[in-house]
A = this chain, B = another copy of it.
Amino acid sequence: MPLRLNMRETGFEQKFNALLAMKREVSEDVDSAARTIIEDVIARGDAALIDLSQKFDRVDLAKMGLRVGAADIKAAIAACDADALAALKLAHARIVAFHQRQKPSDLRFTDAEGVELGWRWSAIEAVGLYVPGGTASYPSSVLMNAAPAKVAGVPRIVMVVPAPGGVINPLVLAAADLAGVDEVYRVGGAQAVAALAYGTATIAPVAKIVGPGNAFVAAAKRRVFGKVGIDMIAGPSEVLVLADKSANAAWIAADLLAQAEHDTAAQSLLITDDKDLADDVVHAVEHQLALLPRKDIAGASWRDFGAIILCDRLGDAIALADRIAPEHLEIMAEDAEALATRVRNAGAIFLGGHTPEAIGDYVGGSNHVLPTARSARFSSGLGVLDFMKRTSILKCTSESLRVLGPAAIALGKAEGLDAHARSVAIRLNLG
């Protein structure tokens, strides 16, 4: 049974804080292991990648080769289920169409003082995409990471994916091909992150690394941050459903379980003003859970981290939603739109009963890489801007420098930076 809370009951604030503070993930301390691996890759390059892949993935890359060749990719595509491939193509087209709207504009203007100002966006020169192996090797995530990079205009997109026992999910390779990934290497773990950051004889270094991974990958990404850019460190996934009596309990239950099946550390939350709905959802979850192949995972997540909060009015729940800052927020209520506009912190909002979060995971078009673990308070889902950077541009004329110069000189002197002041003064013949 999930936790049941009521905003009215005494002690709610404490219980809600305990829910927020709940540690869903044991953060393994693998930092020193990651460090050793990174140092090995820096020192020995490809040889380290080969040895570590033998050790962790039981695959002989000296024989198989580090790079996944065009023929391998072609063969993988041929091996894919036709329906899945068609679905992947639909998803890709929609993701590209959505992200094309995120392309930022350059700016250049001349202000009243005659100073030209502006900025120019440019794509990052090379991006590495980490894709997990095994059961968490999701083709949809390949699209979600690679498509925005391609839309941004990144000229070189490199994918790394471990090949345990020599095997890579064919649909992952098909997604890479579809999204325009330029190079694919069958290497994973901290060693793949190190190779992307520092380069080896076979893998040229990139400027930024994105994509989810296990604790070793996360630790390696933290370590190479600075040398290269990284995206967020992804935590276990979560959903918050806000619903009133107009909502369908069975649909809510299905969405809570879709979240819960990801991981025993995933979290599914419901806030409602309708006690009957709350009870119906609990029963529907129990009923549907029994039918799921991943019922052990989903059941553990729901039991350990699931919660239902009863409130007097859904409007009261907005402040709670902002404190939860959910990765996914579904609103199934009569005034869903009005409620949504009042939410500050959420990775993505799914409006109305006909928008299960799974649509956003696959074919909606918006990105499914979203801020987890309350980081929607300060960060956004992945998008085109994550693959671009902005260079600001400044141009003074001799006249505009004469207008602004004295203030720059005054501030330089006030900060004890005389050479700053002098670099302006010398141009005004004041030096």
Contacts and interface: CB of A to CB of B under 8 A. Distances in A.
A200 to B, nearest CB: 16
Interface in A372-403: 373, 375-381, 383, 385, 389-398, 400-401
Interface in A227-247: 228-229, 233
Contacts of A178: none
Contact of A364 (B97, B229, B322, B404): B404
A421 B363 CA distance: 12
Interface in A192-230: 207-208, 222, 225-226, 228-229
A395 B351 contact: yes
A156 B421 CA distance: 34
A87 B101 CA distance: 40
Contact size class for A? 35 or more
> Could you say how many copies of this chain the assembly holds?
2
Interface in A67-102: 81, 83-84, 86-88, 90-91, 94, 97-98, 101
A392 B401 contact: no
Interface string A345-367: 11111111111111111111111
A11 interface: no
A215 B283 CA distance: 54
A275 interface: no
A292 B417 CA distance: 9
A346 B254 contact: no
B366 A394 contact: yes
A273 interface: no
Q: Output the residue of A109, A355, A423 with the most chain B CB within 10 A.
A: A423
Contact of A393 (B81, B322, B351, B385): B351
Interface stretch (A41-49, A110-118, A182-190, A308-316): A110-118
Interface of A: 81, 83-84, 86-88, 90-91, 94, 97-98, 101, 107, 109, 111, 115-117, 119-120, 122-125, 135, 138-140, 171, 207-208, 222, 225-226, 228-229, 233, 250-251, 254-255, 257-258, 260-262, 288, 291-294, 298, 322, 340-341, 343-367, 370-371, 373, 375-381, 383, 385, 389-398, 400-401, 404-408, 410-424, 426-427, 431
Given A97-B111, A124-B377, A361-B412, 15 more contacts: A101-B109, A115-B364, A120-B341, A228-B378, A251-B423, A257-B422, A260-B419, A292-B419, A294-B418, A352-B396, A352-B397, A355-B396, A358-B424, A363-B404, A378-B389
